[in-house]
Amino acid sequence: MLHKTWRRVAIATAGLLALSLTTACSEDPGESKDLSENRAGAMANYGVGDQFKATEALSFSTLYNNHTFYPLKEDWPFWSELTKRTNVKIEPVAVPLSDYEQKRSLLIGAGDAPLIIPKTYHPQENAFVSSGAILPVSDYLDLMPNLKDKIAKWNLKPEIDNLRQSDGKFYLLPGVHEKPTQDYTVLVRTDIMQELNLATPKTWDDLYAVLKAMKAKYPNVYPYSDLFSKPNPTGALLNILGSAHGTQAGWDYQHATWDPAAKKFNYTGASEQYRQMVTFLHKLVAEGLLDPESFTQTDDQARQKLANGKSFVVTGNAQTLVNNHRPDLAKTLPNAKLAKIPLPVGPAGEVNPFPRLENGIMISSKARDSKNFVAMMQFIDWLWYSDAGLEFARWGIEGTTFTKDASGKRTLNPGVDFLGLNPKAPKHLQKDFGFQNGVFAYGGSPDLVRGFFSPEELEFQKVMDARPPRVVPPPAPLTDEEREQVSLWETPLKDFVTQNTLKFALGQRPLTEWDAYVAELKAKNSEQYIDVVNKAYERFQKNNG
């Protein structure tokens, strides 16, 4: 979770959620009926909790997102141990992190995609549905007992339904969480707060007051100087600020937002909630509390400002706190203290905005014709969804990278570091072993997901656990024709919203022109977009009672 949360939303701009028909919840077996020719290597009686092991040596090509922090190594124990346990060898098709989405699209379009395509963020799969390039994975859930079990036990049906297309099927196998585990929040120099006798802010208005006090004491400093300006300006800050205002912004921006009171979807960038968020953002910039360079500067520039005492507040998560900012400050300002504060509460009230589904896996349609198709689906079910597979992908090899006591509590071995738990250890769980790899490790129960968390981080999660989860929007599945139409509107609309959010925030466009901006959005088909979505929602309601 710590290494992927931001990516979950960074590219969720390809369209509205393509959602489900409840009648398909029992999964249409359709094309999946006859698998008698596709069972080579499969286990005959594979069920929940079973160790999957192919009955013959198999290999499956897998698109691999090559992370710069832990570049791919062929000698990682992850590979050899996975083969030892499952009799399966993964053949990674490595693509640099920066080119992953473009390369994936090119490979799928050319018919050259690997069989297994992880690190796909809904609704990215929408682009590949109508061509038939990817498999309707919901047809084959009976081959995945661990995933089916978790959907039932964790009551994930509403979230799963949000993945469905107008044919009632879904085409993405998502990472699944038992509970939301919010990670991104505001990181604050607590030593400065103590110096100024300031309490930990609980709301965004409280944080505004803290920033004002910091500015009064240090007038030459922009208290809040942010990073993550790509691919959306201040994407992380707008993400958490948007959720606090009951809207979607930054990395989380999607064109349609459900209004539970009105029981309809509104165009996000034209909504009253979005206007309130932009107004607050503008206030921070206008009063010198938020560095205007936050929208354009590189991450390294923002890190240096924090490290050199040129700022005191930044958006981040546990990994950036431990791996980046605290080591930076230790070199330049050794007495400085930086900490995560609970996500500030806004007009939308207390909410834990992290979803229980995250990035997932597409399956190339050509996999269906493989004689090893059933074995492949069993293998995916074990690695990504079984308790043992999830533990393996995250923690590694018992006795080598971790130990487990009689109660089941896991402890990272002292010679292995991850998230600064053993900072002087000679080995790193990701870099030297290949575990906690974002291609394979996501989802799970809280004890698994949070097992690496420090007491400080567990206290943060305790506060967030007390907040209700965000409301899951109702289904509004688009037909192929509708999706083709809205796809023509999406990019111009998204670009226009992004540009004007930046202009309003920086004062380059006065807030008095909000109505004019909304009219300009309408001229770019925002109302037609929402009409299509709301008609899809009404159609779903009519057809499914």
Give tens-digit pLDDT for 207-219: 999 999 999 999 9
The answer to whether residue 530 scores a pLDDT higher than 90 is yes
Average pLDDT, the chain: 91
| Helices within 321-420 (DSSP H only) | 326-332, 373-385, 387-395
- pLDDT score for 321: 93
The answer to whether residue 276 scores a pLDDT higher than 70 is yes
Q: 236 is written with which tokens?
A: 């992380």
Backbone angles phi, psi at 155, to 5 degrees: 50, 55
pTM: 0.82
- pLDDT score for 397: 98
pLDDT band at residue 231 using 50, 70 and 90 as cut-offs: low
Cα dihedral 237, 242, 245, 248 in deg (nearest 10)? -170
The answer to whether residue 504 scores a pLDDT higher than 70 is yes
The answer to whether residue 456 scores a pLDDT higher than 50 is yes
Cα dihedral 257, 21, 27, 162 in deg (nearest 10)? 0
Task: Please state, in angstroms and rounded to a whole number, the distance separating the CA atoms of residues 64 and 116.
Answer: 9
The answer to whether residue 534 scores a pLDDT higher than 70 is yes
Give tens-digit pLDDT for 383-428: 999 999 999 999 999 999 999 999 999 999 999 999 888 989 999 9
For the beta carbon of residue 365, count every other beta carbon within 10 angstroms.
Answer: 19
Can you tell me the mean pLDDT for 277-294?
97
- pLDDT score for 545: 60
Can you tell me the mean pLDDT for 62-74?
95
Q: Which residue has the higher pLDDT, 500 or 453?
A: 500
**Residues sharing a CB contact under 8 Å with residue 531, sequence separation 6 or more, in sequence order:** none
Give tens-digit pLDDT for 140-165: 999 999 999 999 999 999 899 889 88
pLDDT band at residue 489 using 50, 70 and 90 as cut-offs: very high
Which residue is associated with the tokens 């977009």? Answer: 529
Can you tell me the mean pLDDT for 84-104?
94
- pLDDT score for 166: 83
Task: Please state, in angstroms and rounded to a whole number, the distance separating the CA atoms of residues 112 and 120.
Answer: 17
